[in-house]
Amino acid sequence: MACMLEAPLRISVLSEVTATSRHYVDRLFDPDPQKVLQGVIDMKNAVIGNNKQKANLIVLGAVPRLLYLLQQPTSSLELRTECAVVLGSLAMGTENNIKSLVDCHIIPALLQGLLCQDLKFIEACLRCLRTVFISPVTPVQLLFTDPTVIPHLMSLLSRSQRTQEYITQIFSHCCKTPEHQMILYNHGAIQNIAPLLMSPSYKVQMQALKCFSVLAYENTQVSMTLVNVLVDGELLTQVFVKMMQRDRPIEMQLTAAKCLTYMCRAGAIRTDDTCIIMKTLPCLVRMCSKERLLEERVEGAETLAYLMEPDVELQRIASITDHLVAMLADYFKYPSSVSAIADIKRLDHDLKHAHELRQAAFKLYASLGANDEDIRKKITETENMMDRIVSGLSESSIKVRLAAVRCLHSLSRSVQQLRTSFHDHAVWKPLMKNAPDEVLVMASSTLCNLLLEFSPSKEPILESGVVELLCSLTQSDSPALRVNGIWALMNMAFQADQKVKVEIVRALGTEQLFRLLSDPDANVLMKTLGLLRNLLSTRPHIDQIMSSHGKQIMQAVTLILEGEHGIEVKEQTLCILGNIADGHTAKELIMTNDDMLQKIKSYMGHSNVKLQLAATFCVSNLIWNEEDGEEDAATAHKGDDTGGNPVARGSQERQDKLREMGFVDILHKLTQASDPNLCDRAKTAMQQYLA
């Protein structure tokens, strides 16, 4: 069995291989078992803390030979155990070491070794497996390939504290998907691991706790089961609450808080339960203080953000707990030039990971400000907050940018902030930069809010070429980006002047507009109809757009009304027809289309009131004459010798045609409708015939 490594590494390491390293490997092939054992023991002592020696031995082929000796039935238990120990030591080197071990099929060999009855050998195999599995380069699926492995590991939990620690650590690192959760759950993970929370060993307690946090995460079935579990006669939730007490180690407090957070989010614990409001939330806020280590502050903030994300009451409580909003401002100042960190290694680590603090702060601010206007105001008034967001949007770390744009999106739900802070800081500028799709989805969603009619940012954004950017988003393969692109254009077109509307139609192009009207995503279709409705508002705009694109628009409307679409889509389409019917010249495109008139007529008699209302609104605009008459009164007095107002006469002709087609009879019936809005709209339309 060959153990392959990348060529560059092989060359660079081989150049440094010493005769000593060769000597260690050669001794593994000695015919005398006692000399082989001594060779393995010497190798164990040589590799401890020596990464160069570990790499040399791997390149020289020590791993396949050690695995062979470990699996040989003729090998003594002592030799097999020492082989497992050396392999575990090699695994503690670099990620390349782990890759080499995995490529040499170490995992199946060690799992096979667990079938042995000798406890010391089992513990050595588990220790090595633990080291291999906690590496990010190891495919966790290897634990779940053989269906006999998990039940066997469960059966080994009772053997010793070491087996408990290693197995629970393997479970917590390898449980990555809902499928993994259910495999562990179905093999009795809860009942087997729950008693370990009472273990005299802190390490065992912690690994058991971590297991429960990964099992409960976004898993309702597991969480609902956990709520009813008793440990030594005490409910598991109460055990977790005790583990959050201030006198417990920080790691334990934080992990217990994560367990309760995940159970709450999975629906197993109410958000107003005292264990959440009085225990979990305050514990997580404590983790955000500057006395805590960087990783504790990051985990505390991110877990708190997740806990309160959907719940406005938790957001309000958190915002007034321990000055949290101000406390988070410190996340952007860390580590400061006068940092109290005496440990140079710790300072170096924190400098490299300071961006994680900023990411966590943005996430927590986004969650805090998701619903409440007062909290948003408090956040934006925090020192240099808007400048920090703008800086965050331009950071090299994608995760920080995504968290910053999420924060901005959360704050952009506020009308007050859109009118003040956002305008003052030109936050839209970095939003328009190229970015990965996940950032772009949130950025374009924020642009949707910034382009609302009342936002002062709307004008400068329009002047900066945003139309082209949004039109390009509508061509994305991502439905979320297509929705946001068209949504932002819809907001931009709302009550816009003619110049903006013409620019949107020009940049989008009629082909793309009609492609969007047949988009398979219902949200894209609805927002495109919304855009069309906003473009076709105010009479001069309606007439201008319909004069140049009327034929295609009428075709699209026909296709939608004839297609298999939901009530909302058809209602929006009928409203567009109602807007077209409000134009001076545009309404003729409906009046000269008998097929379309029949469709409107059928929708007036539809079983759904929304569609009846929309169709009646359309008819009302077609027969309307009062405003037409007023608007064109001047032309009626300029020597028109044909008698009377030509537009008013036009409305008379439209009324006559619709009467002949049976519209008046339907309107008359609708004046008796049980829905008051429909009844009023029908009466208003009927009054045109009496005028």
H-only helix segments in 398-495:
398-411, 415-419, 421-425, 428-431, 437-450, 458-463, 466-473, 479-493
At residue 230, φ and ψ (nearest 5 deg) are: -105, 135
Closest CA to 270 of 332, 314, 208: 314
Q: What is the pLDDT of residues 343-398, one digit of tens each?
A: 777 777 788 888 999 999 999 999 999 999 999 999 988 888 888 988 898 888 99
Given this model, what pLDDT does residue 432 score?
A: 67
Enter the pTM of the model.
0.78
Is the link from the previous residue into 335 a cis peptide, with omega within 30 of 0?
A: yes
Shortest CA distance to 130 belongs to which of 100, 173, 94, 177?
173
Give me the half-sphere count of Cα atoms (radius 13 Å) on the Cβ side of residue 77: 10
* Per-residue pLDDT reduced to its tens digit, 597-642: 999 999 999 999 999 999 999 999 998 875 444 333 222 222 333 3
CA pair distance 146, 455, nearest whole angstrom: 59
Residues 6+ apart with CB under 8 A from 320: none
Residues 6+ apart with CB under 8 A from 632: 645, 646, 647, 648
388-425 pLDDT, tens digit each: 988 898 888 999 999 999 998 898 887 776 666 666 55
- What pLDDT score does 341 carry? 54
Q: For the segment 237-287, what is each residue's pLDDT rounded down to a tens digit?
A: 999 999 999 999 999 999 999 999 999 999 999 999 999 999 999 999 999
pLDDT classification of 427: cutoffs 50, 70, 90: low
Average pLDDT, the chain: 88
Q: List the structure tokens of 644.
A: 């009377």
Question: What gap in Å lies between CA 449 and CA 375, rounded to an integer?
Answer: 18
Measured CA distances, 232 to 31, 203, 236, 258, 332 (Å): 55, 19, 9, 22, 44
User: Could you please report the per-residue DSSP string of 534-590?
Assistant: HHT-SHHHHHHHHHHHHHHHHHHHHHHHHSS--HHHHHHHHHHHHHHTTSSSTTHHH
Tens digit of each residue's pLDDT (9 = 90 or more) over 448-478: 887 776 666 677 777 777 888 899 999 999 9
d(CA 114, CA 92): 20
pLDDT tens per residue, range 10-24: 444 444 556 678 888
Task: Dump pLDDT digits (tens) for 318-334.
Answer: 999 999 999 999 999 87
**In Å, what is the CA distance from 94 to each residue of 42, 55, 107, 172?**
21, 8, 17, 22
Q: Identify the three-state secondary structure at position 691.
A: coil
| Residues found in the chain | 691
Contact yes or no for 509/495 (Cβ under 8 A): no
